[in-house]
């Protein structure tokens, strides 16, 4: 599974497909204080990315994939 | 014709054929990635090659086909039979255009509309695959047409989008550097995917990330985010900004399915020059400004650069001024910096703000780029030569290499200018494909230089230069000295990079393409040699009988034996040259069978055997037409409908077998079906009703002979024939063709089991072997393939059956025909003979004994058809010149039988 839901952290790994968007959104709604761990994430489907952006869930670990990090950092960094 | 165009035509035909076979293969193995790739490549190659000529309609159509195939390859679209039909239509049309190109060097009128229509239908398939975005597909077509008026696609004009300021300084510097070092060009893209795009399986984020040459990107929302519980996760409200180092065409190509959602801006290098960072305050920058302005005014770039370096060491990191200094350092690296830009940067450093920008001179930019590009090695690595987007690059490399070679070859003065011009033209097309504007300017210079010098050296140097940049310098061999490549030098042709084509420098051409007329001329000469050679035995006899010199006669005979052997070998060798595999005639059938069986709602499998069997080119060419008739008949009338087959307990899928076998000097082509077969009784009755068969013949005709009735001319035209026999359309045309090339056709059929039609054709048509017979003092030739045997029949064994004579030979009753009487050559009072010389011949499976006066030897002749007023005498197949100068008339036996 590309998304593992822990107590307070959703761990996104590998390639997160479009199907994950809805469940991730649901989970984030149920766990408003949860964080997202993108360490092992290689790619997010745009829909998943959109969920992360819309909910503003804080990112606990940024992706190791530098290209992906470059893309999502500006969108998900709380400073923006 | 322009040799390039000629080459394109040949190549296109091959590619079309290849594509056609690919589609057929794909129907058997849907989704086979290898076949799909092959198809895609075929279209892609055609698109690329057609770019060299003014045939936009063709280019656009194959481009559309390529795009659809790409979608199929990506699994976005299934190739249903209907869609394959469309592709076949496209292939046919392109085939016609290629024919037209060959004939008139231009596309036929109306090609534009046809192209637009078909391309539209092809792209329609894309929107079927992606029905949320039909507009995008439509726009792609519009873009294809070169219409720059697609409003939503921002063109290269106008200022760079404002957001490029947000691109990090180091990324912009990198892009600038790539640009001025002759790299692929830089673009800024804004991609606003449609709201429904997730439902079509699109991942716009992926599309954006994978943009060729992407260096940096950012994603933002187009509207404020609603509270999480009101968010629709499947409505896309994202917008992507990205910058990439890639040719603008390549990026457009990448986004072609969403062309209406993308703004692509080609960024000029100076547009990247935007110092960024928090401004620092300090005296050092002011002082720097004083010196720097002075040096800049005097153009002392070296001093300025040293000063910039020194200032950089002192400047704090991340400051605005530091950024401006870095930029200046970069701009000054070129040998010919833009003074306006440098001065502007100096002001940035001195004031700590962005002063208004002076317009930079584009021409100078490109000069700089081109002057700079030689030292560039890095940018090509960044392009990543392995990716599919770089096929254009690979093609360009190939083209340039070929041109380098072409230019180095020694050319005669009369054609050298043409060669130069054509090489320059090809290079121009290649560079256009690469979108390399700077090189275009250099090319124009080199072209002029080449023309004034009358030498290819400037062009060649440029091509090598570009090559070294495209490939990275280490791959291009510079071992070739810069010697004068004019025709006098005759130096060795440059070897290509072995990695590119695996060719070794000393490799010779192994395959020659020769105009057929030259081979035909050779064949004619061989024919004459054969005839001349045949004169020698006559000469020998004359030496012996007239001049009484037996020794000389023997010498002549010996010489004749030698010349005979050589002539035969020569004939064989030339014949060999003309041999082509029958697969040339077979290759169209998979398509024909597929189309017909689909149309008729039958299931038919085509099996081809012995395609590698070879026969004379003319025979193979003439074969195609009758084979079409035969195969069509087999499918139309032979093979039953699936229901019928099921009822008969046969496999649902009918089988048509095309078989070629070589037997001695004949090649047999068989069309075998496992259909319903033919009923001889029905055939007989119908033939009788149609007046083809006389009543008495109706009684005696064998079943086998009855089957041959399908070849009778009257049998073929009327439709009701097919109701009865299930055969007939064009069968007489088949026989006519087979006759023309001196072959024969036979048919076997078992009711309910199938039919086999066999054409026995000579391997070669050039030399015919005939047997000479004498009738009433005249000599006549009888084609050897008709002859069964020669016998002497005692007169008392000849029986009379009513008005007809017949003899029993080997327990068969063979009707006899006195040739002299039929041809009206008989002497008034024929001497009574004890036995008659009978030549037993076989015509369409019927045997006939020709009574002649005397048999002579068999000879090889070149059969010439009758011409002029003689052409009406169908009784004779033609004439031939004998070795002693006499003219031999050769009988057309089928016509003879018809006259009886």
> Helix B56-73 to helix B134-144 angle, to the nearest 10 degrees?
150
Q: Rounded mean pLDDT of B809-821?
A: 85
* Minimal Cβ distance to B198: which of A18, A53, A67: A18
Test the B interface: residue of A26, A31, A50, A74 with most B CBs within 10 Å: A50
Reported confidence tier of residue B141, pLDDT bands at 50, 70, 90: very low
pLDDT of residue B636: 80
Domain parsing of chain B, residue ranges: 3-129, 283-353, 384-478, 516-579, 582-762, 768-899
pLDDT of residue B502: 43
Cβ-based contacts of B218 with chain A (< 8 Å):
71, 74-75
Cβ-based contacts of A22 with chain B (< 8 Å):
233-234
Q: Do B231 and A51 touch (CB under 8 A)?
A: yes
Q: What is the DSSP string of B740-781?
A: HTT-EEEEEEETTTEEEEEEEEES-SSSEEEEEEEETTEEEE
Q: Do A49 and B221 touch (CB under 8 A)?
A: no
Which residues of chain A are under the pLDDT cut of 70? 1, 78-80
Q: Which residue did the predictor score with more confidence, B484 or B532?
A: B532
pLDDT per residue as tens digits for the range B219-229: 888 888 888 77
Whether B401 and B496 have beta carbons less than 8 Å apart is answered as yes
Domain parsing of chain A, residue ranges: 3-65
Tell me the CATH architecture of domain B582-762: 2-Layer Sandwich (3.30)
Q: Do B209 and A18 touch (CB under 8 A)?
A: no
Q: Rounded mean pLDDT of B248-271?
A: 82
Residue B155 has pLDDT above 60, yes or no: no
Test the A interface: residue of B212, B215, B217, B228 with most A CBs within 10 Å: B228
pLDDT per residue as tens digits for the range B648-666: 888 888 899 999 988 777 8
- The Cα B532–Cα B513 span in angstroms is 30
Residue B375 has pLDDT above 50, yes or no: no
From A20, which residue of chain B is nearest by alpha-carbon distance?
Answer: B233
Average pLDDT of chain B to the nearest whole number: 76
Whether B62 and B12 have beta carbons less than 8 Å apart is answered as no
Question: Is B768-899 CATH 2.40.50.180?
Answer: yes
- C-alpha dihedral sign at B699, B700, B702, B707: negative
In chain B, the percentage of residues whose pLDDT exceeds 90 is 2
Q: Phi and psi for B852 in degrees, rounded to 5?
A: -125, 175
Lowest mean per-residue pLDDT among B303-312, B517-526, B658-667 = B303-312
Most confident residue range from B21-25, B418-422, B486-490? B21-25
Q: Rounded mean pLDDT of B240-260?
A: 84
Cβ-based contacts of A41 with chain B (< 8 Å):
none
From B240, which residue of chain A is nearest by alpha-carbon distance?
Answer: A71
pLDDT per residue as tens digits for the range B162-190: 788 788 888 888 888 887 777 778 888 88
pLDDT per residue as tens digits for the range B446-481: 777 777 776 667 777 777 777 777 665 444 444 444
Chains A and B: how many Cβ contacts under 8 Å? Answer: 72
Kind of pairing between the strands at B887-891 and B876-881: antiparallel
Reported confidence tier of residue B562, pLDDT bands at 50, 70, 90: very high
Q: Do A43 and B233 touch (CB under 8 A)?
A: no
pLDDT per residue as tens digits for the range B90-126: 898 898 888 888 888 888 888 888 888 888 888 888 7
Residue B341 has pLDDT above 50, yes or no: yes
pLDDT per residue as tens digits for the range B408-457: 665 655 566 666 777 777 777 667 666 666 677 777 777 777 777 766 67
Distance from CA of A29 to the nearest CA of B (A): 7
Which neighbouring-strand residues pair with B806? B799, B815
- The Cα B21–Cα B39 span in angstroms is 9
Cβ-based contacts of B191 with chain A (< 8 Å):
none
Q: Do A43 and B205 touch (CB under 8 A)?
A: yes
Residue B193 has pLDDT above 80, yes or no: yes
* Minimal Cβ distance to A54: which of B216, B225, B234: B225
Reported confidence tier of residue B264, pLDDT bands at 50, 70, 90: confident
* Minimal Cβ distance to A28: which of B208, B209, B228: B228
- Enter the tokens of residue B349: 């450093």
Q: Which residue did the predictor score with more confidence, A31 or B53?
A: A31
- Enter the tokens of residue B566: 């050589």
Whether B211 and B187 have beta carbons less than 8 Å apart is answered as no
- The Cα B354–Cα B347 span in angstroms is 8
Residue B298 has pLDDT above 80, yes or no: no
Residue B407 has pLDDT above 60, yes or no: yes
CATH of domain B3-129: 1.20.120.160
Q: Do B203 and A53 touch (CB under 8 A)?
A: no
pLDDT per residue as tens digits for the range B724-782: 334 445 677 788 778 777 778 888 888 888 889 988 887 766 667 889 998 888 889 99
- The Cα B259–Cα B328 span in angstroms is 36
Whether B734 and B630 have beta carbons less than 8 Å apart is answered as yes
- C-alpha dihedral sign at B590, B596, B599, B605: negative
- The Cα B534–Cα B567 span in angstroms is 10
Q: Do B228 and A44 touch (CB under 8 A)?
A: no
* Minimal Cβ distance to B219: which of A25, A55, A71: A71
Residue B508 has pLDDT above 70, yes or no: no
* Minimal Cβ distance to B236: which of A28, A43, A46: A46
Lowest mean per-residue pLDDT among B51-55, B309-313, B726-730 = B726-730
Q: Do A47 and B198 touch (CB under 8 A)?
A: yes
Chain A interface residues (partner B, CB cutoff 8 A): 18, 21-22, 25, 28-29, 43-47, 49-51, 53-56, 67-68, 70-72, 74-75
Sheet containing B768-775: which strands, arranged edge to edge?
A: B854-861, B768-775, B778-783, B887-891, B876-881
Helices H / strands E in chain A, number of each:
3, 6
- The Cα B251–Cα B431 span in angstroms is 17
Q: Rounded mean pLDDT of B322-345?
A: 79
Q: Do A54 and B206 touch (CB under 8 A)?
A: no
Q: What is the DSSP string of B28-86?
A: HSTT-HHHHHHHHHHHHHHHHHHTTTT-HHHHHHHHHHHHHHHHHHTTSS---HHHHHH
């Amino acid at each position: 599974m590309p998304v593992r839901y822990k107590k307070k952290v959703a761990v996104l790994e590998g390639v997160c497909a479009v199907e994950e968007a809805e469940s991730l959104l649901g989970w984030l709604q149920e766990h408003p204080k949860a964080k997202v761990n993108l360490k092992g994430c290689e790619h997010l489907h745009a829909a998943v990315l959109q969920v992360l952006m819309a909910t503003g869930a804080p990112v606990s670990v940024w992706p190791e994939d530098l290209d992906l990090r470059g893309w999502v950092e500006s969108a998900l960094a709380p400073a923006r | 014709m322009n040799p390039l165009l000629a080459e394109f035509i040949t190549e296109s035909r091959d590619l079309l054929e290849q594509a056609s076979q690919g589609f057929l293969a794909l129907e058997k193995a849907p989704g086979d990635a290898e076949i799909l790739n092959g198809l895609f490549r075929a279209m892609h190659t055609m698109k690329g090659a057609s770019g060299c000529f003014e045939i936009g309609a063709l280019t656009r159509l194959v481009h559309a086909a390529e795009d659809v195939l790409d979608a199929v390859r990506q699994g976005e679209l299934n190739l249903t039979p209907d869609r394959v039909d469309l592709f076949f239509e496209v292939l046919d049309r392109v085939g016609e255009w290629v024919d037209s190109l060959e004939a008139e060097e231009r596309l036929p009128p109306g090609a534009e509309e046809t192209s637009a229509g078909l391309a539209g239908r092809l792209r329609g398939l894309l929107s079927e695959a992606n029905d949320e975005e039909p507009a995008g597909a439509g726009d792609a077509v519009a873009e294809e047409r070169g219409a720059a008026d697609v409003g939503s696609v921002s063109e290269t004009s106008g200022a760079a989008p404002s957001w490029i300021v947000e691109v990090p300084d180091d990324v912009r510097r990198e892009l600038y550097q790539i640009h001025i070092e002759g790299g692929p060009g830089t673009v800024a893209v804004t991609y606003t995917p449609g709201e429904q795009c997730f439902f079509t399986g699109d991942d716009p984020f992926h599309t954006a990330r994978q943009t060729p040459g992407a260096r940096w990107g950012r994603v933002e929302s187009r509207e404020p985010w609603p509270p999480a519980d009101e968010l629709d996760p499947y409505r896309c409200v994202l917008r992507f900004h990205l910058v990439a180092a890639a040719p603008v065409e390549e990026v457009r190509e990448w986004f072609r399915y969403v062309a209406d959602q993308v703004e692509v801006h080609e960024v000029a290098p100076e547009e990247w020059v935007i110092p960024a960072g928090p401004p620092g305050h300090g005296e050092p920058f002011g002082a720097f400004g004083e010196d720097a302005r002075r040096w800049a005014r005097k153009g002392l770039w070296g001093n300025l650069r040293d000063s910039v370096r020194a200032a950089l060491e002192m400047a704090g990191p991340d400051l605005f001024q530091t950024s401006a200094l870095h930029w200046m350092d970069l701009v000054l690296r070129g040998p010919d910096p833009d003074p306006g830009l440098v001065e502007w940067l100096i002001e940035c450093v001195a004031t700590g703000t962005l002063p208004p920008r002076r317009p930079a001179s584009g021409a100078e930019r490109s000069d700089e780029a081109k002057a700079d590009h030689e030292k560039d090695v890095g940018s090509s690595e960044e392009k990543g030569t392995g990716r599919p987007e770089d096929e254009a690059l690979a093609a360009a490399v190939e083209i340039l290499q070929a041109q380098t070679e072409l230019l180095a070859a020694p050319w005669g003065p009369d054609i050298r200018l043409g060669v130069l011009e054509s090489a320059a033209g090809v290079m121009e097309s290649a560079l256009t494909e690469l979108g390399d504007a700077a090189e275009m300017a250099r090319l124009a210079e080199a072209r002029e230089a080449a023309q004034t010098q009358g030498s290819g050296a400037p062009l060649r140097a440029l091509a090598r230069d570009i090559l070294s940049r495209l490939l990275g310098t280490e791959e291009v061999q510079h071992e070739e000295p810069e010697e004068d490549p004019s025709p006098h030098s005759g130096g060795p042709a440059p070897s290509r990079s072995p990695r590119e084509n695996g060719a070794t420098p000393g490799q010779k051409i192994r395959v020659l393409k020769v105009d057929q007329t030259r081979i035909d001329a050779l064949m004619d000469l061989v024919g004459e040699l054969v005839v001349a050679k045949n004169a020698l035995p006559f000469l020998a006899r004359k030496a012996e009988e007239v001049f009484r010199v037996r020794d000389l006669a023997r010498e002549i005979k010996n010489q004749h034996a030698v010349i005979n052997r050589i002539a035969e070998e020569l004939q064989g060798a030339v014949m060999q040259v003309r041999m082509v595999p029958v697969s040339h005639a077979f290759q169209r059938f998979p398509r024909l069978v597929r189309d017909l069986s689909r149309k008729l709602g039958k299931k038919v499998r085509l099996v081809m055997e012995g395609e590698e069997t070879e026969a004379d080119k003319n025979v193979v060419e003439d074969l195609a037409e009758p084979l079409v008739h035969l195969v069509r008949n087999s499918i139309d009338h032979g093979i039953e409908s699936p229901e019928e087959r099921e009822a008969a307990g046969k496999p649902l899928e009918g089988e048509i077998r095309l078989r070629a076998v070589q037997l001695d000097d004949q090649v047999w082509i068989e069309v075998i079906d496992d259909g319903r077969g033919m009923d001889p009784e029905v055939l007989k009755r119908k033939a009788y009703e149609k007046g083809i068969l006389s009543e008495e013949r109706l009684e005696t005709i064998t079943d086998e002979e009855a089957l041959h009735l399908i070849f009778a001319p009257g049998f073929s035209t009327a439709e009701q024939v097919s109701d009865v026999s299930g055969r007939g359309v064009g069968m007489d045309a088949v026989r006519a063709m087979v006759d023309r090339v001196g072959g024969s056709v036979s048919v076997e059929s078992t009711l309910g089991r199938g039919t086999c039609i066999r054409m026995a054709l000579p391997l070669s048509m050039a030399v015919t072997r005939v047997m000479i017979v004498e009738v009433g003092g005249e000599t006549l030739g009888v084609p050897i393939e008709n002859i069964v045997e020669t016998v002497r029949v005692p007169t008392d064994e000849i029986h009379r059956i009513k008005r007809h004579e017949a003899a029993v030979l080997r327990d068969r009753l063979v009707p006899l025909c006195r040739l002299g009487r039929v041809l009206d050559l008989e002497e008034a009072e024929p001497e009574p003979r004890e036995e008659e010389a009978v030549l037993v011949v076989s015509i369409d499976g019927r045997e006939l004994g020709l009574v002649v006066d005397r048999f002579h030897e068999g000879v090889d002749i070149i059969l010439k058809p009758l011409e002029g007023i003689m052409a009406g005498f169908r009784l004779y197949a033609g004439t031939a010149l004998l070795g002693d100068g006499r003219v031999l008339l050769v009988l057309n036996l089928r016509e003879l039988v018809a006259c009886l």
